[in-house]
Every structure is written in structure tokens, then in C-alpha cells.
Structure 1
């Protein structure tokens, strides 16, 4: 029996008997719809030797089904005139598309076909493994990505969190059609599948489509959820033949489901989330130390890191670290005034409401709320949570996070050395 929950006059969720969820947000003025098929299976759901399988499965979904070969899939998606893509994160895989409302049924048919019925042909698999090996090589040659991959790998004691989403050349090359099919069967379970749509959507009609496509799947027992494990702050200096030294500093943060996430997000944003932020002004505008410097929370459901990243002239690396340390200390000592916090808060609320104009953004936001909280969170509730954060909260958050023992640091470049 279907179980339906109505969150508000425009948002509903229905759970099919086998556990598949269908969640929609109707936007009355929209003539387009954004549809996402979300599977709670990402790199975190890979055991030793399986590294990269979630990402590899995402690629293989577009290589053909019993009804469509790879070219047909590409042509059909192009013919819809919409925007389609897919991505793999540490905790989920998403296949999504934005189309005119008249094309939604066809879009659902294509996405559900590639998710359910992707053929894992050994010859196609070999070609796609070669593509992913090139993708891994690209990361190795992109300093901003390379430093982040190496830092993240060293920052976690739990291998499931530490390893790259793309996997390693060895693990990708070792995957076989049989091992990938086994991983898919274990992880693409009905209870892990959520159909999410926003825009010109008829909830009942979409639920019927989902029931027809996914209703035959048998419920399977899920493996017990594994805790994130310990953050192990690394101190790394690696020599690379690059023009600049690339730097990451990181500190413990909270998970995306934590009520404290709003204070951490405000803290990261006022430090380095926009052009008026403290680090952008001090590092770039006042001293010309870096072209860009960024701070943000890199969060999972149950843990996260507040990361600061920049690239700097090798001879000025020490100066950069000193400037950043001074700003962190000032914020922890209560230097953020009410006016600065209000400015940052209005920036984030502006992004929140501006993003709500897009059906794709609404679909993505709805999906993340459902996966994290099993409910729709109104925009007003998020805005109110941002409004509730005080300058004392920001200072306390900074003081707890910005300790020497919790500081992770990675420097990569031509004269990389730890201070």
C-alpha cells in the first residue's frame, strides 16, 4: 500500500510498498520540470577493492540498455531539448534532467531505463574504464583538485570516506562486469531509490510512473550504516613542479544534518565565501597574495570539514599562512560585529531565494532535505535558522574549531614545506 505525506500545499512524498520514494514540489507558474533519480549509493558505500564502483556505474548507465544503445540514449536526451546530467558524490548518485512539462513522461522513461536496465557489457566496460583512467589523470594534473584529493585521503581514518570518488587506477582497472553488477544489485535497492521532481509536476501521475517502473523490485536488506570515523588532521608538504604553492587548511565541522550547520556555514562564508569576506579582502585585496582564496564547509550527512584553499607565490607562502591564522584568531576572539554577520546572513538568504527560482535548484534542495531529514524544509525555516545565529555563536564555533590540534594543513608546490 502506498503511504503519502503532505508537507504543504505544493509538496508531497509517497512511499511505494517496496520502499521507493516519490517526492514532488509543484511550482504553479512553471512550464518546465526538473526530475532526478537519486540512489543513496556513493563512494562511501564501497568496500576495500570496490573503490570507484559508484562512479563507474554512473558512467555505465549511459552505455546502453536492452531498449536503447548508447547513441540512442544520447539522441533521445538531446531531442527533449532539456539539460541532462549525472553525478556521483560520497553518499549518493543522481541522474537528472530538466525538460518542458510536455516531455516529462519521456524523460522519466529514459532515466528509469538507464538506472534499472543498464547493460554492463565487458567491451563497453573496458572502454569506460579507459575514460575514467583519463579522468583520474586529469585530476593528477590539476593542482586545485589534486591537493584536495590527497588532503581528504589523509584526513580520515575510515577508508570508505578517505578514498577518491573516482577510485584508483588499480581499483578501476580491476572491476569486472560481474563485480560491478554485484555492487549494483547490493546498492541500487528500492529503499535507496528516491524519485524527486519540481516544477510543472502532477504528483499522482509521477507516482504511477514510478510504480510501473520500480514497483516490481524486491526489497533487500541494507548493510548497516557505518559511522564516519575519526578526522585525523594531516600535516603534509609535497613537492610538485608547479608555478605556485597550493594550500589547504581544514578544521572539524559538522554534518549536513546537524542543527549547528548554520553557524558553520555563516562562519565559512564570512571568512572566504564571497568578495567582501575577510580572507578575500586581507589576502587578495590588501596584500595581493593570491588571485583567489575560498572557505567553505565540505559536509557529509554526519560529519564535515571547514576548508580554506588558496594558491600563492611560493616565496610568500609563510605570509599567507600568517594572515589566515590572524584572521581565524580574530574571529575566534569575537571580532565579528553584528553588522558583518548581518551582511553575510543576507548574502546567504539571497542565494537561497534566488536559487528557488530554478526548478533544478528546487529539485536538488528537495532531494537533499528528503535524504537528510525525510521531509521538505520550507525556505522560510532555513532563513529563520540563519537569522537565529548570533555573533556569540560564530565566535564559539570558531573557537572550538580553530585549535592547533585540530588544524589540518597541506602544501603542494615547488618549495612546499611545513612551517
Structure 2
């Protein structure tokens, strides 16, 4: 009997590592006339202690106030003069700086992003003004119900952990930042071993490597910070009465993280529950019962933990019943789904993921995220194979594990009559 054939090695994109620890990935897309460049630090708001809550987001704002020899206006004008756009985003586990440009704008984009990450000015007067701007952003989020309800649910889920604090911080915590302390935070947050430079579109790998070596090849060690202690899902309720026309509900359950073998099972579980108009929640809660105009399910994953979530907007008087219906549909996932329903969910998930790959910026960001999580990238056929391998039994096992924790986090924001939905959801699932 012949020996079994060895399992083929995964075929992702080549990963290059500079001497200082910066990693580089390049994804050429033939036929494009534009480039996408992302410089992504594998640290974000999760790395903050409570006293520095919001500093990562504040820092992301501040680097645009001047960097290298460029003023704030220079930074945007030189990119826009080449037909490009520049942007940034702060998350819990990463901070991303992005440039989209015409093909010949790669050199300039690399230079500008290198200045933002390594040589921001952080002037005291600029910092004082930007604290006011971020304070307005915090106030705006508090005034926006479908932002605030997610913040409340996140706090309930991860109370006492950095994942439970707002990425924006509070006026008090951002008020503590000074130019020198924020500069020290930048050196730690954007340390070279945390950085991935990712390029996609009309790019040549040799040119990308040459430019990254030029701009990022001799970064000093920065005393890198970690993403903190392991995540823990505590659970609880956050019912908040507010004079609104509609009740807003977020229902969370503890799930697996992005590195877990059940990651794609979690994505499919969310897809079947509330991923589209054919999903169970949409059909049962909206089409059959008329309880909600908007309802969907989703998964949010961090490196070591995740959540299965449901968001809905409904009339206040329907909130408790809607929560019971959502709980019932989640519990029903302990019964194996039919092959046709699972096949449709797999097609939807693959469609969404592969359609996203048609964007150069999405490709650059996805590659950087995968490098940060796995120190490699995942080939499209590898992703498709992982999705296709999920079975009905996998979904039952995962659902039982999720419910077996016996914990949920529920936020309800709206008229007082809606607040009973929090207890309604928990009682329906756990008694």
C-alpha cells in the first residue's frame, strides 16, 4: 500500500521581513491603473491601559497635523495632486494608514505614510485643538443611537477589559495626553516589529521592496506594547432609556476568535441567522411577524475571542418579543441545518469575500491583517476550501459551545417600554 500523498503547502503571497522587523507583502493585480498602499500596525485601542484610553485614536488624528517636512495641508495636497486619497483607521487590534493613487503615485505614497508613522510633529497647540475635535466626535457618537447601542453592548460584553472601552476614549483620558507622552506612545504602538506594509494593484514587487527598505528599513526599536491580557467575555445588560422613536437592540454571545479553527463556522452561523433577506431572522422577525424593519446577525472577531451578535431596530412595544424571537432562532441552530440552506450561506459568504477582493485597497488591508494574525496570507482557494469544509454538525457543535457559556451581553436603547428586552433575551436562552 502506497504512502498517502503529502498535504500541499498553502499558497499565499510571499512575506518579506526587513532587518528591523517590518514585514512586507505585495499583491499585483494585472490590468489596474491604480495602487493601494496600507501601512498597518498590529496594535490599537486594545493595547491601552485605562489611563490612556483613546490615545491610539487621538494619535491617528495627530499624525495628520504635520509629519516630516510636510504641514497638515501639504500631506493631503501632495496626495490629491497625484489623483489619490489618504485615510486612516484605528481599531482594537490594529491601526491602518492608507493611500490610493494612480500607478505612478506609489513612491510618494510610501514617503508620506512613512512620515506619518515615524516622524509626526505632535505640536502642543495642534494637540489642544485636536482634543476638542475628538471630544466632539465622542459627543456625536453619544448622540447617535445606532452608534451608542453598540458601545453599550461592547462595554457589557467586556467590562473591565480594554475591549470594553470605547476606541474614542473619554474627554478625561484623552485630556491626559501631552506631546511627549503621545510621542512615546507612538514609538511603542508603531514599533517596527508591529508593522506590515502591504501594496496591491498596479505594483511591482521589486519596486515595493526597494521603497519599503528606503522608508522603513532602519526604524529604531520602539519598546513595543502588547495587546494586553487575554480577552474575556463577562456579559451583562445595559438598558438605557432615551426619548427616541425606535428601540435599538444589540444582543451578543461569546464566540471564537479569528485564529480559531471554527472561524468560518462562526461566519456561516451568522450568515444563516441574519446575513441577508433569506436569513432566518429576517424571514421570521420581519417577514412573518413584522417585528422589525432592520435586523441582522454578524460576527466580530479578535485574535483570541469573538462575538456572535444580532442588531435590530423596532417599535418599543415589540422589543421584548423581538428579543425572544432572536433567542429562539439562535437556539434552533442546535438542530442541524439543511444542505440547501448551508450551501446558500456558503455561496453568500464566498461571494462577499471574493467580491471584496476586486478592490485593491481591500486586498492590501486583507493581506496585512492576515500577516498580523498568521504571519502569512491565505490564498483564495484555501479560504474557499475552509468554507466548503464546514458541516451541519460543526454548526451544531459551535452553537452548543456558544450557548454553553451561559452568558450574553445585551444593550437596549430607546423608550422605557423597550428595556425589558434585555432580560427577555437572557431568560429565553438561559432560563
Judge same fold: TM > 0.5, yes or no: yes
Matches within 5 A, 1:2-151: 11-151=13-153
Alpha-carbon distance in 2 for matches of 1:232, 1:80: 49
2:296 to 289, 294, 297: 294
- State whether residues 245 and 314 of structure 1, in contact with CA within 8 Å, keep that contact through their aligned partners in structure 2: yes
Partner in structure 2 of residue 246 of structure 1: 248
2:161 to 159, 162, 176: 159
Alpha-carbon distance in 2 for matches of 1:200, 1:187: 30
Deviation of the 1:221 alpha carbon: 4.5
Structure 2: 5+ residue runs without aligned partners?
1-8, 425-431
1:284-325 residue CA offsets vs partner (Å, 9 max, x unmatched): 122221111111111111111111111111111121012112
Residue 166 (structure 2) pairs with residue 194 (structure 1): no
CA RMSD of aligned residues (A): 1.8
- State whether residues 293 and 308 of structure 1, in contact with CA within 8 Å, keep that contact through their aligned partners in structure 2: yes
- State whether residues 161 and 228 of structure 1, in contact with CA within 8 Å, keep that contact through their aligned partners in structure 2: no
- State whether residues 47 and 228 of structure 2, in contact with CA within 8 Å, keep that contact through their aligned partners in structure 1: no
Deviation of the 1:212 alpha carbon: 1.6
Alpha-carbon distance in 2 for matches of 1:326, 1:157: 26
1:342-396 residue CA offsets vs partner (Å, 9 max, x unmatched): 0010011111222222211211111111111111110010011100001111122
TM-score, L = length of structure 1:
0.94
Alpha-carbon distance in 2 for matches of 1:222, 1:404: 34
* 240 and 56 in structure 1: CA distance in 2 versus 1, 3 angstrom threshold: same
Deviation of the 1:126 alpha carbon: 1.0
TM-score, L = length of structure 2:
0.92
Alpha-carbon distance in 2 for matches of 1:128, 1:7: 45
Deviation of the 1:12 alpha carbon: 2.2
1:274 to 276, 294, 297: 276
Partner in structure 2 of residue 3 of structure 1: none
- State whether residues 47 and 226 of structure 2, in contact with CA within 8 Å, keep that contact through their aligned partners in structure 1: no
Alpha-carbon distance in 1 for matches of 2:316, 2:360: 44
Deviation of the 1:113 alpha carbon: 1.4
Alpha-carbon distance in 2 for matches of 1:268, 1:101: 38
Partner in structure 2 of residue 366 of structure 1: 367
- State whether residues 13 and 376 of structure 2, in contact with CA within 8 Å, keep that contact through their aligned partners in structure 1: no
- State whether residues 153 and 252 of structure 2, in contact with CA within 8 Å, keep that contact through their aligned partners in structure 1: no
Deviation of the 1:327 alpha carbon: 1.2
Alpha-carbon distance in 2 for matches of 1:56, 1:231: 26
* 7 and 251 in structure 1: CA distance in 2 versus 1, 3 angstrom threshold: closer
Aligned residues: 412
* 157 and 411 in structure 1: CA distance in 2 versus 1, 3 angstrom threshold: closer
* 119 and 221 in structure 1: CA distance in 2 versus 1, 3 angstrom threshold: closer
Residue 357 (structure 2) pairs with residue 356 (structure 1): yes
Residue 376 (structure 2) pairs with residue 375 (structure 1): yes
Partner in structure 1 of residue 390 of structure 2: 389
- Aligned with 2:361: secondary structure? helix
Residue 230 (structure 2) pairs with residue 257 (structure 1): no
- State whether residues 158 and 228 of structure 1, in contact with CA within 8 Å, keep that contact through their aligned partners in structure 2: no
Partner in structure 2 of residue 313 of structure 1: 315
